[in-house]
Each structure stands twice: as C-alpha cells, then as structure tokens.
C-alpha cells in the first residue's frame, strides 16, 4: 500500500500555490524511483481547502489522476501528468476556501480527522497563511502528521522571510500605479490606490516603494489626514502635475481607528472585512485641497494573474522542501525561508502570530514614506 499524502490550499488564493503543489508531486515521484512499491508516495489533492477533507465521503471515492473534481467528489489523485503545466497558472487548481474546522462552537475538525483516517493518510500538507497555519497546528496537536507551506500576499507570516504570492502582488501594485500615472499626468490628478494589508503594511510599503508613490500609509503607523493633505499639497506645489498615494486597507486614522468596517462582514475566522480608506482619502483630499482626486481599490487584482519569476521559484523550493520533510518524518513543521535560504521551523501556532513592519527601521513616520536610511539594515 502506497503512503498517501494529502494536500490542500486554505484561505485566499495567490500565485505560486500551483508551483508548490507541482513540486510536491514531482519530488514525490523522484523519491518513488528509489522506493519499493509498498513504500512509494501517492499525492491526493483535496478540493476547496479544509472543506475538502470535511466533506469527503467514501460514497464519492478518490478520483483517479486526470479526472477533475465534480459532483460530490472532494479528493483526487495528483501525478506528474496532471500537474505538468500548473506552474504557469495563478490561483490554485485544487480550489480554496476560508472554511474553519475549529470555528467557535464547531466540531468540523473531527471530520478532517475522520477523512485522514479513512484515507489512511501518511501526512497532510496545507498551504496557507496565519489561519491555515493555526488550524494545521491544532490538527498536529490532535495527533495528525502535518506540514505546511507559507502563503500570504501580506507577507506577514511568522517563522519565514518569504510567503508565496507576495512578490507577484507587489508587481501588480507597481503595474497598476504605472498605468494610473498616465491618466493622472494627463489630467493633473491625485490618485489614491488602496492595497491589501489588514494588520501589516509590507505589501503597501514594498509596492509603494517600488512604484515611487509620494505617500504610503501602513497599519503600523496611524496617519493624520491633515498631514497627508500637507504632503500632497507640497508635492503638487513643487511643480508636480500629479501625485500618487498608496494606502493599505488596514491603515488607521490617528485617534479614530479604521476608516470603515463593512456591516456584519466577518469571515469564518472572525476577521472583520476592511475597506474604505481609499474612498475616505479621496473625499478628504478633494475637500481639503479642492483638487481632482480619484481612488482605486486594487482588491483581488493583487491576488490574480500568473506568478512572477520569483514566486515560481519560491513555490518550487517550498514544494521540494515540504516533500523532503515528509521523507525525513519531520512533522509539525513549516517549509520556510531564513537568511535567504530554504529552511524548516515549527508551524506558527497562533492566528495573530504575525510579523509587522518594523516602522522604526523601515518607515519615515513624518513623511509617510519608506525610510531613506538603509545602512542600519546592514548591521
């Protein structure tokens, strides 16, 4: 009997996930070349994140390689032929969801354990961010062999220097800002670009820096609307024909908090759905400066499209590392990146176990800009 490896993607989709899945499958195949038939690995992909093992039923058996999900089927075999071109595609070919097996008052995690046992899994690999990592750790505490691969375009996951999707998302911000410059310059406008980033401003800061934004607002440093207006006015008064402001969705107004919260908008992990800082700044700057101001919410554009060259390579490296951990039997671990090299460490156990922007080192809190001093980063 082959050793079965379950794999799923949880939370929001992003480029790079398919690359990691492909290389888990390909690395398993390479190991199989040297293993006897009863010790070889078989990779099973679960449909739509944790919803896959929760809804799996023996009435709808695991689909063979080459047959896509349909009807009540929630598991399929993944082999080299199936995943051969996945690395050229964004998103996740096995689907994802924000299903929480450990939601308050829920015992759905028991269904995950049931499926794990019924399918006789050797281990389960989950690709995801804070929430997916925390769920996987809890399953590890329940006695399951689990591993994770880091994924979040926010780039704020503890235990790793890089998470899948971040580089591609930064590139999207740069591309969209570059496009907006054309119309901004043509009409002499102030453009406010709202990027993702609930608690951490890594994405907005990196995207704003790479795109050359005039003002960048991050959640770690509450902003004063009047100061933003001063900076924009100085920029326009200095002869510039247009101005670009990049703001993370979780940016806070000093003394007031988040700009807006969608009524009753919470996901299964209890996260309030944020949004509105771009529109708020558009209205504020229009009134304060009497200028032509437009706002653009990038939203899911940042998650879409094919992976960048770095996310393709990172997915490959993380996938190989995860399979190496399987072979070594080092469960309860996350394939990670430390000091620029692939490594492994314990799965981040807490939902809030995230890394925020080190504003004292990386951010100019007066000019609302990425810090100009970089030598301190070399210490």
DSSP states of 68-127 as a string?
Answer: ---TT--EEEE-HHHHTTGGG--S-TT------TT-TT--THHHHHHHHHHTTEEEEEEE
Is residue 375's pLDDT more than 60? no
Q: DSSP code of 35?
A: S
Among left, alpha and beta (phi > 0; psi -120 to 50; other), residue 160 is: beta
Q: What is the pLDDT of residue 172?
A: 96
Beta bridge mates, 248? 195
Q: Which tens digit of pLDDT belongs to each residue from 105-117?
A: 889 999 999 999 9
Q: Which tens digit of pLDDT belongs to each residue from 264-277?
A: 455 555 555 566 89
Long-range contacts of 370-376 (CB under 8 A, 24+ apart): 370/205, 370/208, 370/209, 370/216
Q: What is the pLDDT of residue 263?
A: 46
b/e sequence 156-185, b meaning 16+ C-beta within 10 Å: bbbbbebbbbbbbbbbbbbebbeebeeebe
Contact 253, 180 (CB under 8 A): no
- Among the options 131, 154, 214, 311, which is catalytic? 154
Is residue 261's pLDDT more than 90? no
For the chain, how many residues are written?
A: 379
Contact 369, 216 (CB under 8 A): yes
Q: Which tens digit of pLDDT belongs to each residue from 76-101?
A: 999 999 999 999 999 999 999 999 99
Q: What is the pLDDT of residue 257?
A: 81
Q: Which CATH number fits domain 3-164+307-346: 3.40.1260.10, 3.30.1780.10, 3.40.50.450, 3.40.50.9100?
A: 3.40.50.450
Is residue 217's pLDDT more than 80? yes
Is residue 12's pLDDT more than 80? yes
User: CA-CA distance, 353 to 148, in Å (whole number)?
Assistant: 15
User: CA-CA distance, 308 to 1, in Å (whole number)?
Assistant: 38
Within the chain, all domains assigned CATH 3.40.50.460 are found at 168-304
Q: What is the pLDDT of residue 266?
A: 56
Within the chain, all domains assigned CATH 3.40.50.450 are found at 3-164+307-346
Q: Which tens digit of pLDDT belongs to each residue from 19-58?
A: 999 999 999 999 999 999 999 999 999 999 999 999 999 9
Q: Report which listed range, 215-224, 340-349, 370-379, is most confident.
A: 215-224
Active site residue 339: no
Q: What is the pLDDT of residue 260?
A: 60
Reported confidence tier of residue 319, pLDDT bands at 50, 70, 90: very high
Q: What is the pLDDT of residue 378?
A: 47
Q: Which tens digit of pLDDT belongs to each residue from 224-238?
A: 999 999 999 999 988
Q: DSSP code of 200?
A: -
27: number of Cβ within 10 Å: 21
User: CA-CA distance, 202 to 357, in Å (whole number)?
Assistant: 6
Is residue 156's pLDDT more than 90? yes
Is residue 135's pLDDT more than 90? yes
Summary mean pLDDT of the chain = 93
Structural class in CATH, domain 168-304 = alpha beta
Q: What is the pLDDT of residue 379?
A: 41
Q: What is the pLDDT of residue 258?
A: 78
> Dihedrals φ, ψ of 306, to 5°?
-75, 155
């Amino acid at each position: 009997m082959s050793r079965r490896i379950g794999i799923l993607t949880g939370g929001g989709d992003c480029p790079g996930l398919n690359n990691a899945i492909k290389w888990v499958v390909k690395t398993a195949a390479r190991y199989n070349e040297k293993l006897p038939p009863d010790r070889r690995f078989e990779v099973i992909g679960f449909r739509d994140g944790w919803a896959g093992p929760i809804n799996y039923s023996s009435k709808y058996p695991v689909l063979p390689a080459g047959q896509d999900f349909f009807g009540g089927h929630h598991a399929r075999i993944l082999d080299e032929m199936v995943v051969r071109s996945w690395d050229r595609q964004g998103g996740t070919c096995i689907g994802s969801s924000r299903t929480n097996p450990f939601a308050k008052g829920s015992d759905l995690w028991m269904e995950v354990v049931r499926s794990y046992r019924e399918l006789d899994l050797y281990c389960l690999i989950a690709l995801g961010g804070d929430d997916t990592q925390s769920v996987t750790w809890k399953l590890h505490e329940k006695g399951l062999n689990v591993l994770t691969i880091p994924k979040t375009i926010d780039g704020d996951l503890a235990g790793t220097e890089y998470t899948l999707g971040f580089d591609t998302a930064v590139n999207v911000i740069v591309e969209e800002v570059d496009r907006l410059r054309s119309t901004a310059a043509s009409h002499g406008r102030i453009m406010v670009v709202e990027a993702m980033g609930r608690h951490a401003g890594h994405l907005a800061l990196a995207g704003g820096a790479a795109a050359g934004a005039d003002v960048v607002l991050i959640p770690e440093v509450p902003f004063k609307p009047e100061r933003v207006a001063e900076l924009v006015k100085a920029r326009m008064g200095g002869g510039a024909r247009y101005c670009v402001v990049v703001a993370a969705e979780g940016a806070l107004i000093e003394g007031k908090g988040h700009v807006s919260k969608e009524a009753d908008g919470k996901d299964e992990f209890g996260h309030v759905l944020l949004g509105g800082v771009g529109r708020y700044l558009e209205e504020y700057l229009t009134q304060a400066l009497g200028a032509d101001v437009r706002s653009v919410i990038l939203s899911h554009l940042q998650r879409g499209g094919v992976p960048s060259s770095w996310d393709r390579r990172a997915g490959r490296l993380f996938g190989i590392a995860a399979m190496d951990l399987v072979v070594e039997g080092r469960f309860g671990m996350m394939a990670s990146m430390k000091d620029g090299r692939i490594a492994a460490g314990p799965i981040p156990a807490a939902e809030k176990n995230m890394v925020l922007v080190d504003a004292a080192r990386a951010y100019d809190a007066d000019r609302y800009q990425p810090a100009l001093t970089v030598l301190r980063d070399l210490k």
